Amino acid sequence: MDIIVIVLLIFGLFSFLGGAVGIIRMPDFYSRLHPAGKLDTLGTLAMVMGLALYNLHQVSIGSILVSIKMFLIVFFVFIASPTATHTIVDAGMRAGLRHWTKKKRED
């Protein structure tokens, strides 16, 4: 049981690391949203699932209820995170932010 929890937590940390590196390294605003939108959601899913599994070590009514609440957090994040990402993109488009293109070589 502990090994599954550790693997899930490490996987969540790895995808969070990918999201952070993508946010730093990507060239412009729209492409920065791509790792920020997806990898954060995946990392949240993996890590909360691991923590909920660890919480079920001693099975009782209280711990089952707490684990159900954790899955409620995952459900909410799965609705809210793409909505927030889409709203940020919409704000950028309407404010007239130009997207990044590869610079032409002059030769």
CB of 102 to other proteins, least distance (A): 17
The b/e string for 72-82 (b: 16+ C-beta within 10 A; e otherwise) is: eebeebeeebe
Radius of gyration of the chain (CA): 19
The three-class DSSP label of residue 41 is: helix
CA distance 22 to 89: 17
* Comparison of 101 and 107: residue with beta carbon closer to other proteins: 101
Contacting residues toward other proteins, per CB under 8 A: 2, 5-6, 9, 12-13, 16-17, 19-21, 23-24, 29, 32-33, 36, 40-41, 43-44, 47-48, 51, 54-55, 62, 65-66, 69-70, 72-73, 76-77, 80-81, 83-85, 87-88, 90-92, 94-98
Tokens 């809210």 label which residue?
Answer: 80
* Comparison of 2 and 107: residue with beta carbon closer to other proteins: 2
